[in-house]
Amino acid sequence: MKTLDDLLAEGVSGRRVLVRADLNVPLDGDKITDDGRVRASVPTIKKLVDAGARVLVAAHLGRPKGGPDPKFSLAPVARRLGELLGQPVELGAQTAGDGSVVLLENIRFDPRETSKDEAERGALADELAAKADAFVSDGFGVVHRKQASVYDVAQRLPHYAGGLVLAEVQVLHKLTEDLQRPYVVVLGGAKVSDKLGVIANLLTKVDRLLIGGGMAYTFLKAQGHEVGQSLLQEDQIEQVLGFLEQARERGVELVLPVDFLAATGFSADAEFDVVPFDAIPADRECLDIGPKTRELFAAKLADARTVFWNGPMGVFEFEAFSGGTRAVAEALVASDAFTVVGGGDSAAAVRALGLPEDGFSHISTGGGASLEFLEGKELPGVSVLEG
Residue 145 marked as a ligand binder: yes
**CA–CA dist 289, 215 (Å, integer):** 12
Query: CA angle, corner 281, sides to 279 and 286, nearest 5?
Result: 90
Task: For residue 191, indicate whether it is catalytic.
Answer: yes
Residue 317 marked as a ligand binder: yes
Residue 22 marked as a ligand binder: yes
Q: Return the exposure string of 316-339: e unless at least 16 CB atoms fall within 10 Å of the residue's CB, then b.
A: bebebbbbbbbbbbebbeebebbb
Residue 300 marked as a ligand binder: no
DSSP state of 204: T
Residue 273 marked as a ligand binder: no
**CA–CA dist 319, 214 (Å, integer):** 17
Which is the catalytic residue, given 344, 366, 367, 381? 344
256: left (phi over 0), alpha (psi -120 to 50) or beta: beta
Q: Which residues lie closer than 8 Å to 279 by C-beta, 6 or more apart?
A: none
**CA–CA dist 274, 265 (Å, integer):** 14
**CA–CA dist 20, 139 (Å, integer):** 6
Residue 37 marked as a ligand binder: yes
Q: Is the Cβ–Cβ distance between 137 and 150 less than 8 Å?
A: yes
Residue 368: phi, psi to the nearest 5? -65, -40
- In 3-state terms, what secondary structure has residue 75? helix
- In 3-state terms, what secondary structure has residue 23? coil
Which is the catalytic residue, given 15, 20, 37, 146? 37
| 75-85 and 36-50 helices, crossing angle to 10° | 60
Residue 4 marked as a ligand binder: no
Residue 376 marked as a ligand binder: no
In a 13 Å sphere around the CA of 130, the CA atoms on its Cβ side amount to: 8
Residue 121: phi, psi to the nearest 5? -60, -40
**CA–CA dist 131, 121 (Å, integer):** 16
Residue 108 marked as a ligand binder: yes
Q: How far is CA 280 from the centre of its chain?
A: 32
Task: For residue 344, indicate whether it is catalytic.
Answer: yes
Task: For residue 368, indicate whether it is catalytic.
Answer: yes
Residue 24 marked as a ligand binder: yes
Task: For residue 381, indicate whether it is catalytic.
Answer: no
Which is the catalytic residue, given 52, 99, 163, 368? 368
- In 3-state terms, what secondary structure has residue 122? helix
Residues recorded for the chain: 387
Which is the catalytic residue, given 2, 16, 156, 191? 191
Q: Could you tell me which residues are annotated as the binding site?
A: 22-24, 37, 60-63, 108, 145, 195, 317, 343-346
Q: Could you tell me which residues are annotated as the binding site for ATP?
A: 195, 317, 343-346
Active site residues: 37, 191, 344, 368
Q: Could you tell me which residues are annotated as the binding site for substrate?
A: 22-24, 37, 60-63, 108, 145
Q: Could you tell me which residues are annotated as the binding site for (2R)-3-phosphoglycerate?
A: 37, 108, 145
